[in-house]
Structure 1
Amino acid sequence: MPSSSIRVLTSSDVDQVLNDLSPEIALASQSNVFKNFSSPSPSKEGEHAIIQTPHRITISSEQSTMLFMPSRAPTSDNSKATSIKIVSVPTVSDGGLPATTMVMDETTGRVKAVVNARKLTALRNACGSAIFLRLFPSPTPPTHLVLFGSGAQCLSHTILFLRLYSTIQSVTFVVRSSTPRSQSLINDLSKQFPGISIKAEVHPSCSSEGLDEVVGKGDIIVAATSSTVPLFTAQPKRDARVILIGSYKPTMHEVDQSLVESAGVVVDSIEACMREAGELIDSNLTNEDLVEIGQVLDDSRAEEYKRKVEEKANSIGGNGVVIFKSVGLGIQDVAITNIVLEQAEKMKLGHVVENYD
């Protein structure tokens, strides 16, 4: 494709790529960027850092909050790529978050691709969660998956986890009310995974009758909401793994302070989480109490960091629970978008705009 042209990938194009994409390829690319992000001495090319991920820029309007996330990161073939993702969070949700990633040509400085990122945001988050589960597996294989929410994040997590863990027998979505979207989610997943018990339970608040029992059965608990109050107050079962991916503002809290303080806590970025994640900001934890997922992926110190998390999870007052808190890193978008773009080029997908510049 000429350097002055642009490849545009619609949501349908992205779907075609994802249908054939091996989960292991996606997981490997995410592991690579996490590891590079947490490297104590990020490698450079002259004065140009391979990992560059400035804090997101937020612009608000009456109708939505728009997040701009530029980043540079290594790709699967160890070359470098730069992109910017734009996500809009509507004041009143209409069933999803519009998202687009622009991929740059590092040689010319031109835009070389525009990629619909609605599903890619959810996929890269699910991959980060799956990497966490592999690094901190429960003593017994998971059988019950509990998710708070029914949007794209929960859908992507469910599909990936069911593909990776054949032991999961039951999936429960906790929703505040039954909606056409939640019903469609259950129907679609039930058709895709006919041997699994998949259901939704309505619990308007953390004190709803029966919610404690649902939480208590979860081997893996995923929270993907923008709630400003804890979604549950029950103590998860021993050695549960709790994944928090919804909150991204200091005012948001998906779990209560006591759970955070009694668990081992792994994050995608210590700096970003202590700036944005309300659950961590309001706890008595400090930066020293947190471990980045990329640190655990560092072969030279992996056991040291794992031990730190597990000792905290099993300390006095602990219940073996380990939390993964992610606010999302732009470098994740660089990695997953480039994989999709490479595959789309091979499959000759998308619309090429000739002579754009």
Structure 2
Amino acid sequence: MPPVRIVSLEQVASILNGIDLEEILTSQGKAFHSYSINETQTPQRPTLQTPYHSTLIMPARIDSLTSVVKLVSVPKQDSNNGLPGVTIVLDNLTGEPRGLVNARLLTAIRTAASSALATRAVFQVKENKDESLTLVLFGSGAQAKAHIQLLTHVLPRIRNVLICNRTLPRAQELLAELQPQYQNLTMVAYSTSTGESTSPIPGISSSDQDKGKDKDQLLKQIVQSADVICTCTNSRAPLFPGEWVRPGTHINMVGSYTPEMHEVDQALMKRALILVDARQECEKEAGELIVAMKERGENGILAELGQIFDAHGQFDQTAMPTEFKTATAGASGKDVTMFKSVGIAAQDVAITALVLDQAEAQDLGTVAEI
């Protein structure tokens, strides 16, 4: 058997820090296209349950690329370190193991890439000419970090980033990590439980931010200020009332992945024109979409990402449903856009193969005989 390249967490981080983000986005666009034209394989994943975590075993293949088997453990308590896991990459011809790649950082980056692709597509067709955009995130873990990195890349007009988290210290940690890299952005951490923030919130008067101000009213103003909202939590209850979201806002929902989870309410779902990563999976796993179908007989899904990105991983504007061009007009009550992701295994194939290729090119990792 040929030697196997083992790529550690630190080496993956080094590769991601140096890689052109467009390479990640292109590889993910290709993966979604392959999925939508049925050129991927995703056998049902078995799950091992323990009192401390759920271990998922996820084989997957993109026919034109390679096959992988991903092992990931999902902690049953909150963690801001990403999901611990590894991915085995197989040689596409022989089926022998080619690499073993630490997956902790890759789940977050490939999920954020899907949001970035959807956001780029929506903003290319909608008539939003604002010179300065505000990004509001719920959550302060690895997903939130990756979303800030990818969304500020595809939307360089973002000038304000507001990180909303139940507790302020965790949001402060993320802020302290990212602020030096984004000197051109105004970044603020906000606690949804206490109403405290690390600094004045852009666009909200100082009197409204005075200590003792109704925290719900302050959160309402934060949500109303958003051009893009990203929900990166595992919440089972909506994070804010949908009526707070102003027309024309785009929402990326990536945290909920079971029927019991609901990051937004049905008032918002009713208003949304929706892109998804995978229609069948979202309709089975996403609590918000399941409830929408039960209550109204429709869930707002118009297209999968793979239907609007081509075989080269590029956005095909002609394939974008025309409804997205008039989202702010409120036709049929639909006045916001939304992307819902539950994650698909083809994404893991693409991001892991890309990282392993980079490791081989840079001679990173440990090559071992097994």
Structure-1-length-normalised TM-score: 0.88
2:150 aligned residue: 160
Q: Does 1:29 align with 2:27?
A: yes
Distance change (3 Å), C-alpha of 1:201 and 1:6: same
2:167 aligned residue: 177
For 2:43, the aligned partner's letter is: P
For 1:13, the aligned partner's letter is: Q
Alignment of 1:81-230 (within 5 A): 81-96=66-81, 97-137=83-123, 138=126, 139-141=128-130, 143-179=133-169, 181-204=170-193, 208-230=216-238
1:306 corresponds to which of 321, 336, 350: 321
Kindly provide the CA deviation profile for residues 200-245 of structure 1, in whole angstroms up to 9, marking residues without a partner as x: 1111399833111111111110001000000010431221110000
Kindly provide the CA deviation profile for residues 170-206 of structure 1, in whole angstroms up to 9, marking residues without a partner as x: 1001111123x32221112111111211111111399
Distance 2:316 2:32 in 1: 14
Distance 1:205 1:83 in 2: 44
1:344 aligned residue: 359
Distance 2:22 2:4 in 1: 28
SS in 2 for 1:170: strand
Alignment of 1:279-318 (within 5 A): 279-283=288-292, 284-286=296-298, 289-298=301-310, 303=318, 305-310=320-325, 314-318=330-334
Distance 1:304 1:194 in 2: 37
Deviation at 1:32, TM superposition (A): 0.8
For 2:364, the aligned partner's letter is: L
Q: Contact (CA 8 Å) 2:255, 2:263: kept in 1 or not?
A: yes
Distance 1:149 1:316 in 2: 32
Distance 1:289 1:192 in 2: 36
1:248 aligned residue: 257
SS in 2 for 1:87: strand
Kindly provide the CA deviation profile for residues 27-51 of structure 1, in whole angstroms up to 9, marking residues without a partner as x: 1111111112112xx4xxxxxxx41
SS in 2 for 1:160: helix
SS in 2 for 1:146: strand
Deviation at 1:95, TM superposition (A): 2.8
For 1:266, the aligned partner's letter is: L
2:52 corresponds to which of 63, 68, 73: 63
Q: Contact (CA 8 Å) 2:171, 2:190: kept in 1 or not?
A: no
Q: Contact (CA 8 Å) 1:262, 1:312: kept in 2 or not?
A: no
Distance change (3 Å), C-alpha of 1:53 and 1:288: farther
Q: Does 1:323 align with 2:321?
A: no
SS in 1 for 2:16: helix
SS in 2 for 1:216: helix
Distance 1:243 1:136 in 2: 11
SS in 1 for 2:112: helix
Q: Contact (CA 8 Å) 1:264, 1:310: kept in 2 or not?
A: no
For 2:71, the aligned partner's letter is: I
Q: Say how many residue pairs are matched.
A: 338
Distance 1:279 1:312 in 2: 20
Distance 1:55 1:240 in 2: 35
For 1:227, the aligned partner's letter is: S
For 1:159, the aligned partner's letter is: Q
Q: Contact (CA 8 Å) 2:62, 2:346: kept in 1 or not?
A: yes
